[in-house]
């Protein structure tokens, strides 16, 4: 059982602890954008006022934390930080594209739901603070990047998204460094590295690539606060009040990032605090904390029940599309984790952070099994539900396996490691259908809608040059691939043109009719429809009919533009 060290400990991270400082800074930034989303959502403050207020509150909290001090149990440091950078480079290189290079995923390619997010972000910033149920921390972060640097929206979304993945990989590296530090055997170190990297790949990187390409940005943004909260609880020694405050702030961050796993997180917190109540010493010095921990347990449990109630309609929501996964193995994947974690609990090898990680896995597994047993439909959100808990399990895997390796009994050690490896195997089986997409992405196959570009810089440059030559304003860009259309319009500063595709659907809205002071642009019908028709022939036909009417207008001109060393696109222009 871990001991409480209070908030008055020394600050050893001042020396050679770049990794701890980096993750602590990331925690502060993500907390600030989550608070800004909360202030905008509940008080309707202007985005700049909400963001400034949130960062000031976070800075005040950081100052108090600095004055009181924090102590880190694990030495993360520069070597683990370098290892995280190496792993992240491998992630990017694994998605190398023969035409566009290794950074194809950082803002150059994505799929459908990204179009929703850029529109919903504008609703959130300019008109409707309660947009998207308040899951808007990602929107604040992207707006802040654009506001401070002037970068286009596709780049800000990509940076925010991949920053979350880097944080997750950095947390993984910190746990790996911590786990390896206690193991002297070379063979055991090699086994720990192999098993942990395998868990990271099959439970995080492969599904991440697919979800990113489908544009599930808000869902993937949950990786940042979830991983940072796990890192804090595993590596930072804080007292009772500090732990409760950190748990509350983590819940706030998850609430305003993407609430799909908020109920599971609160239920896992309740289980973890209950574990503290059961396991903490019964001596007089600790007696006063037991009612406090019990109260926090009940609050977390009530919060979880409220979140589950709010989440219930999602069980029947089929909105949006997602590739079929092997949900049976994913449903069962957490059961071996439950058995293995019970072994560690019985042997006293589980601290607060690791108990929280395993509890999150166990709770999510129970929810999935209940969902399946109740005969509820396997719809859109059901397929996204396991990703964050499995990613957290993957992140915690080095620490978990290191604790298993330190068990005294060979039988217990073998059993717990085998059970955990079974989790990895079931997770790999569950996400196996995504491997086909990973292959398409690696080889640069453009036949799939899921890997079309969000923004084409050469087309943007041509549009800007045309407007300057004509002395006109931008009247809108139209394309059958609605995510591409939305981000192109955002990059060129015309939100009004999105009436063409309201929230990603062409069922409502109309063209922004070009006037004598504007020009409108669209991609050649043949090229665009060929790319889109594979996945949505009905929608492609509808768009084709609309664009056909626009293309019959007098004065339409079309130009072939080089977009890479080996490909061209045809852009049509109408300047009445």
Q: Length of the chain, please?
A: 576
Using DSSP, state whether 227 is helix, strand or coil: helix
The model's confidence at residue 506, banded by pLDDT at 50, 70 and 90, is very low
Asked whether the predicted pLDDT for residue 246 surpasses 50, the reply is yes
Section 227-240 average pLDDT: 86
Using DSSP, state whether 72 is helix, strand or coil: strand
State the DSSP string of 522-549. EE-HHHHHHHHHTT-HHHHHHHHHHHHH
- DSSP H/E element including 520: strand 518-523
The whole-angstrom separation of Cα 260 and Cα 262 is 6
> 191-208: string of b/e by CB count within 10 Å (b at 16+)?
ebeebbbbbbbbbbbbbb
Section 188-192 average pLDDT: 87
pLDDT of 441: 64
The whole-angstrom separation of Cα 191 and Cα 421 is 11
Asked whether the predicted pLDDT for residue 437 surpasses 80, the reply is no
Are 428 and 202 in contact, with CB atoms under 8 Å apart?
A: yes
pLDDT digits (tens, 9 = 90+) for 28-39: 999 999 999 999
Which stretch, 171-175, 246-250, 288-292, has highest mean pLDDT? 246-250
- DSSP H/E element including 62: helix 47-68
The whole-angstrom separation of Cα 429 and Cα 481 is 31
The model's confidence at residue 494, banded by pLDDT at 50, 70 and 90, is low
Asked whether the predicted pLDDT for residue 205 surpasses 80, the reply is yes
> What residues have CB less than 8 Å from 87, skipping those under 6 apart?
169, 172, 173, 197, 200
pLDDT digits (tens, 9 = 90+) for 319-355: 666 767 888 898 898 889 888 888 888 777 888 889 9
- DSSP H/E element including 568: strand 568-574
> CA 312 from chain center: how many Å?
22
Query: What's the Rg (C-alpha) of the chain?
Result: 25
Which stretch, 262-271, 372-381, 540-549, has highest mean pLDDT? 262-271
> What residues have CB less than 8 Å from 258, skipping those under 6 apart?
135, 218, 219, 221, 222
pLDDT digits (tens, 9 = 90+) for 98-135: 444 434 433 445 567 888 888 889 889 888 898 888 99
State the DSSP string of 349-403. ---HHHHHHHHHHHHHHHHHHHHHHTT----HHHHHTTHHHHHHHHHHHHHHHHH
> 480-491: string of b/e by CB count within 10 Å (b at 16+)?
bbbbbbbbbbbb
The whole-angstrom separation of Cα 298 and Cα 319 is 34
- DSSP H/E element including 404: helix 387-405
Mean pLDDT of the chain: 79
CB neighbour class for 186 (10 Å; exposed up to 12, middle 13-18, buried from 19): exposed
Instruction: Rounding to the nearest 10 degrees, give the CA dihedral for residues 221, 222, 227, 228.
Output: 80
The whole-angstrom separation of Cα 363 and Cα 277 is 19
């Amino acid at each position: 059982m871990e001991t409480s060290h209070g908030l008055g400990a020394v600050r050893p991270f001042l020396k050679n602890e770049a990794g701890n400082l980096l993750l602590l800074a990331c925690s502060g930034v993500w907390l600030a954008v989550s608070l800004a989303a909360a202030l905008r959502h509940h008080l309707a403050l202007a985005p700049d006022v909400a963001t400034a207020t949130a960062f000031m509150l976070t800075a005040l909290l950081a100052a108090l934390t600095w004055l009181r001090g924090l102590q880190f149990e694990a030495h993360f440091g520069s070597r683990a930080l370098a290892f995280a950078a190496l792993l992240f480079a491998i992630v990017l290189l694994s998605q190398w594209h023969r035409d566009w290079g290794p950074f194809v995923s950082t803002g150059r390619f994505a799929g459908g739901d990204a179009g929703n997010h850029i529109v919903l972000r504008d609703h959130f910033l300019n008109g409707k603070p309660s947009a998207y149920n308040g899951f808007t921390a990602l929107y604040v972060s992207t707006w802040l990047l654009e506001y401070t640097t002037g970068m286009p929206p596709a780049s800000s979304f990509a940076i925010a998204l991949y920053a979350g993945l880097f944080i997750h990989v950095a947390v993984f590296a910190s746990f790996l460094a911590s786990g390896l530090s206690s193991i002297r055997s070379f063979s055991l170190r090699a086994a720990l590295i192999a098993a942990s990297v395998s868990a990271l790949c099959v439970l995080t990187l492969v599904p991440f690539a697919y979800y990113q390409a489908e544009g599930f940005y808000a869902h993937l943004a949950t990786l940042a606060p979830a991983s940072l909260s796990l890192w804090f609880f595993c590596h930072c020694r804080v007292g009772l009040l500090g732990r409760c405050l950190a748990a509350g702030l983590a819940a706030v961050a998850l609430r305003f990032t993407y609430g799909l796993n908020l109920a599971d997180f609160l239920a896992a917190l309740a289980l973890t605090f209950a574990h503290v109540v059961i396991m903490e010493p019964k001596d007089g010095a600790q007696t006063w904390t037991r009612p406090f921990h019990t109260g926090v347990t009940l609050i977390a449990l009530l919060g979880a029940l409220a979140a589950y109630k709010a989440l219930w309609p999602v069980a029947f929501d089929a909105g949006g599309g997602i590739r079929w996964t092997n949900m049976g193995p994913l449903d069962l994947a957490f059961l071996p984790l439950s058995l293995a974690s019970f072994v560690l609990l019985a042997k006293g090898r589980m601290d607060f952070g690791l108990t929280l990680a395993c509890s999150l896995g166990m709770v999510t597994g129970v929810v999935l099994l209940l969902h399946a047993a109740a005969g509820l439909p396997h719809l859109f959100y059901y397929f996204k539900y396991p990703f964050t808990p499995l990613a957290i399990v993957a992140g915690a895997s080095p620490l978990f396996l290191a604790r298993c390796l330190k068990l005294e009994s060979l039988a217990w050690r073998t059993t717990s490691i085998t059970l955990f490896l079974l989790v990895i195997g079931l997770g790999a089986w569950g996400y196996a259908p995504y491997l086909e997409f990973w292959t398409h992405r690696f080889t640069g196959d453009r036949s799939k809608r899921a890997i079309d570009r969000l923004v084409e810089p050469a087309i943007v440059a041509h549009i800007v040059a045309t407007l300057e030559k004509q002395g006109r304003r931008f009247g809108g860009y139209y394309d059958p691939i609605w995510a591409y259309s939305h981000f192109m319009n955002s990059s060129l500063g015309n939100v009004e043109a999105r009436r063409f595709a309201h929230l990603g659907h062409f069922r409502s809205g109309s063209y922004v009719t070009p006037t004598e002071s504007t020009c409108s642009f669209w991609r050649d019908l043949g090229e665009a429809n060929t790319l889109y028709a594979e996945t949505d022939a009905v929608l492609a036909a509808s768009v084709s009919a609309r664009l056909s009417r626009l293309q019959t207008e007098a004065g339409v001109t079309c130009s072939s533009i080089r977009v890479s060393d080996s490909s061209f696109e045809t852009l049509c222009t109408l300047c009445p």
